[in-house]
Structure 1
Amino acid sequence: MTEPQAREIIENYLEGYNLFDVAGMLSCLHPAVVFENVTDGSVTLRTNGKDAFEAQATKALALFMERNQSILAICLNADCARVDIKYFAISAIDWPNGLKAGAILQLTGQSVFTFRDGLIASIQDIS
């Protein structure tokens, strides 16, 4: 995959995420996609395959009133991209950890994407 192709598919995936467009996100993913969320060095969520990703992404729609991931920096090589991400969201629910509906979340993190057959094969969101 060329650098412009990798950048375009990542931007398309993030656009789908920001618009709450699960179908748009899925169109960027390989059928065997692996997704991991890593917080403080521990995997807190892992999905295997496009169907599992879709189920989780659909469930997550109800968690936020607004959400946005934007690219701060991107480092591409061969079949991998490391993307520094700025994240903003407004919670739609009260969370078990005490976060209340309407709370604003702002953080930076990193997403690591790998590619196969012109699609995203894995995503690791690290915060």
Structure 2
Amino acid sequence: MNKPTNREVIEQYISAYNSFDVEGMIGLMSEDCVFRNIAGGEMDTETKGIQEFRQLAEQSAGVFSSRCQTVTSYLESESGAEVEIDYKGKLAVDLPNGLKAGDQIQLKGRSKFELLDGKLVLIEDYS
């Protein structure tokens, strides 16, 4: 069986994310993976290791009733890729910042993915 390409792994991850498939996301990640969310130039979230990532993924899945990342550009590197993303989500809960359940969120961002031996070792989301 052929090893999936980096692009295939990234596409599988985004598909799992869009369908709230936490186990599908976890299955693509290395045990010592790192996730970072950078908003407005400031890192506001970081997880280290698959268990911390699982907790964050399960928590964030409960915040949205629907969500969709759409790749608008893809720039491959030797160890992964950087992708431009259009993001749309519908909140399932009220948030402390004043957004309410049912509100729609739309933003543009980019994500950096690094892989090693076919597993995601780093994901950085920028918005």
Q: What is residue 54 of structure 1 aligned with on the other side?
A: 54
User: Could you tell me which residue of structure 1 aligns to residue 31 of structure 2?
Assistant: 31
The gaps in structure 1 that reach 5 residues or longer are: none
Q: % of aligned pairs identical?
A: 38
Q: Tell me which residue corresponds to 2:69.
A: 69
The offset of 1:117, in angstroms, is 1.5
Moved over 6 A (4+): none
Aligned: 1:11 with 2:11: yes
Tell me, yes or no, if the aligned pair for 1:22 and 1:57 is still in contact at 8 Å.
Answer: yes
TM-score normalised by L of structure 1? 0.95
| Residue of structure 1 equivalent to 2:105 | 105
Scaled by the length of structure 2, the TM-score of the pair is 0.95
Residue 59 (structure 1) shift: 1.0
**CA deviation after TM superposition for structure 1 residue 80, in Å:** 2.9
Report the residue type matching 1:31 in the other structure. Answer: E
Task: Deviation per CA, 1:85-125: give whole Å up to 9, x if none.
Answer: 11000001111111111000011100000111211110000
Q: Aligned pair count?
A: 124
Q: Is the 8 A contact 1:30 1:117 kept in 2?
A: no
